[in-house]
Chains A and B, each alone.
Chain A
Amino acid sequence: MSLMTMIVKMSEGLGKTCAIFFLTLLFSLPLGMIVALLRMSKVKVVSTITRFFITVIRGTPLMLQLLAVTYGPYYLFRANVSRNKLIPVVIAFSINYAAYFAEIYRGGIESISIGQYEAAEVLGYSKFQTFMRIILPQVIKRIMPSVTNEVVTLVKDTSMAFTVSYQEMFTIGKQIANSQTSFMPFVVAGVFYYIFNAIVDYLMGRIEKSLDYYR
């Protein structure tokens, strides 16, 4: 198989790689905020349960979580394994990344000085207005570098979907590597991820820069 054929075949899987990537961000970024808020809840039971959830998600391999979400329903309920693997893959990724984002958000929220809340309160902002207008924008600026880290990791983690044979770029590459006994597909995959992340890096840098107008 020529290198060109490999590249063409693998790039056919790029759509699915992108699907995992964008859908995971779409769901995990807001979900992470919910988890962060639950984690900081003043209700002890809520924060404790959330904390436990986070330790489980962060303390077990993503690969295992992918397998659990994809095949778990079958072993537990004899439910059919869904034919569209994108759904369980995105669910597993979203939950996993939400846990990481939650901790990043929490760090950001807790780094905002209490004085910001007090000023807003005295000036008549509601709790919700305070969060949306005063706290969140400052949190976003502060956490951008950490979020960029996670997003870059996510690009590479999409390759994990091969464990449930979801036909994204890396899974295809791995299959080609096996059938052709060639290392070339992995090199191609590496280049793909690198380019993908170069774009991510550039875009995140732009966002960071756009928040540079204040300290």
Chain B
Amino acid sequence: MADFNNMESMGGQKARNILAVNALRKAFGSLQVLKDISLHVEQGNVVSVIGPSGSGKSTLLRCISFLEKADGGDILYDGQYAVKDGVYATKAELNRFRTRFGLVFQNFNLFPHYSVMKNITEPPMIRGENREIVTERASALLKKMGLEGKENAYPCQLSGGQQQRVAIARALALNPEILFFDEPTSALDPELTGEVLKVIRQLAEEKMTMVVVTHEMPFARAVSNRVIFMDKGVIVEEGHPEQVLGSPQQERTRQFLRNYQR
């Protein structure tokens, strides 16, 4: 694992790490879900995390977004410690760190009692931003997501794919430096995954820094700068998508991908 990290950093000048995770540990009871996970995400990069269910991918995402409390290790945003050796920063500091990332959930988790517009505008306004500026930004985001005219709709009136795109707009409205996706298309009808993946791809082209937990292998291959394969709480293999998905070095990775293609 450490070797891969070294290999990566050997190749040239040091880019800015938006996110760095060192030796992250997490257990649920006696079950070690994350065993010393280390990874870093450079500015403008897209990192895809793949692996079988129960491998710890989602827990990893939940730990770095503070939804789950890690037992040990470090989490750094832009070089600043949010968690150091398992010790968390203060509540106020964590809340500031939260402005650095956005999280898109598998089941969207839009607020059903809010219109599309309010779903997007309220979080920045709660953080003290001006309504007009936020509304303008939200309109632009909705346009970008192909959701013009849906401002006043309620989530229940939208398809799953549309809801997920609203959720992406909601996350982007806080101007995060990095966006996390937790299986963003797993709850969608197959015919609707395309529209969501297209939006994420578009963000990748705009050099949005992202970590995507996904089961969409062709998507991971096409969009990511790096693919991480996790199993049983460890990073088994990581590297360029062509390498990990095209010619995996580890037997476990090969096995997983074989099962995947069936």
Contact = CB atoms under 8 A, between A and B. Distances in A.
A137 B126 contact: no
A133 B66 CA distance: 21
Interface in B86-111: 95, 98-99, 101-103, 105, 107, 109-111
Contacts of A118: 67, 105, 109
Contact of A122 (B103, B113, B122, B156): B103
Interface string A112-131: 01011011111111000100
B127 A119 contact: no
Contacts of B66: 121-122
A124 B113 contact: no
Given A121-B67, A124-B126, A213-B154, A138 B105 contact: no
Nearest to A133: B122
Given A115-B105, A122-B67, A124-B99, 4 more contacts: A122-B102, A124-B95, A214-B113, A215-B156
Given A141-B113, A214-B154, A215-B112, A122 B65 contact: yes
A123 B174 contact: yes
27 contacts: A115-B105, A115-B107, A115-B109, A118-B105, A119-B109, A120-B111, A121-B67, A121-B98, A122-B67, A122-B98, A122-B102, A122-B103, A123-B123, A123-B170, A123-B174, A124-B99, A124-B123, A124-B127, A124-B174, A125-B123, A129-B126, A137-B113, A138-B112, A138-B113, A214-B112, A214-B154, A214-B155
B171 to A, nearest CB: 8
- What class of interface size applies to chain A in its complex with B? 20 to 34
Interface of A: 113, 115-116, 118-125, 129, 133-134, 137-138, 141, 213-215
Contacts of A120: 111
A134 B67 contact: no
Given A124-B123, A133-B122, A214-B155, A119 B113 contact: no
A55 B174 CA distance: 46
A36 B111 CA distance: 23
Q: By CB atoms of chain A within 10 A, which of B107, B113, B170 has the most? A: B113
Interface residues of B, number: 25
Contacts of A121: 66-67, 98
A30 B114 CA distance: 24
Contacts, number: 54
A103 to B, nearest CB: 23
A137 B154 CA distance: 15
Interface of B: 65-67, 95, 98-99, 101-103, 105, 107, 109-113, 122-123, 126-127, 154-156, 170, 174
B146 to A, nearest CB: 22
Contacts of A133: 122
Contacts of B110: 119
A53 to B, nearest CB: 31
A26 B170 CA distance: 38
A133 B101 CA distance: 22
Contacts of A129: 126
Contacts of A141: 113
Nearest to A137: B113
Nearest to A211: B113
Nearest to B91: A126
Q: Which of A121, A123, A141, A214 has the largest count of B CB atoms less than 10 A from its CB? A: A123
